[in-house]
């Protein structure tokens, strides 16, 4: 009887491990003194009120952050 319980327990553990959903990868990037339009993925949209592009548009090169923003989900409104 004891062996039956051990077999059932092991079977339960194996099945739950196999059927478990993969956990998502979450990367939170927090910067200090970086404006909304400074990273490359936002700098293309920085314009003056009349629609002319800002002169600093795209001056900070952030290829890794651009790739992460293109492949993932961005939250760009943080309030505390």
pTM score: 0.48
Higher pLDDT, 80 or 51: 51
1-48 pLDDT per residue, tens: 778 888 888 888 877 777 767 777 888 877 777 777 777 777 766 677
Sort 38 into a burial class: Cβ within 10 Å, 0-12 / 13-18 / 19+. middle
């Amino acid at each position: 009887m004891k062996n039956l319980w051990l077999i059932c327990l092991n079977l339960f553990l194996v099945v739950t491990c196999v059927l478990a959903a993969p956990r998502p990868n979450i990367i939170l990037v927090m910067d200090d003194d970086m404006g909304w339009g400074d990273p490359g993925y936002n700098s293309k949209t920085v314009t003056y009120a009349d629609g002319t592009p800002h002169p600093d548009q795209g001056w900070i090169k952030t290829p890794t952050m651009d790739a992460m923003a293109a492949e993932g989900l961005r939250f760009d409104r943080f309030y505390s």
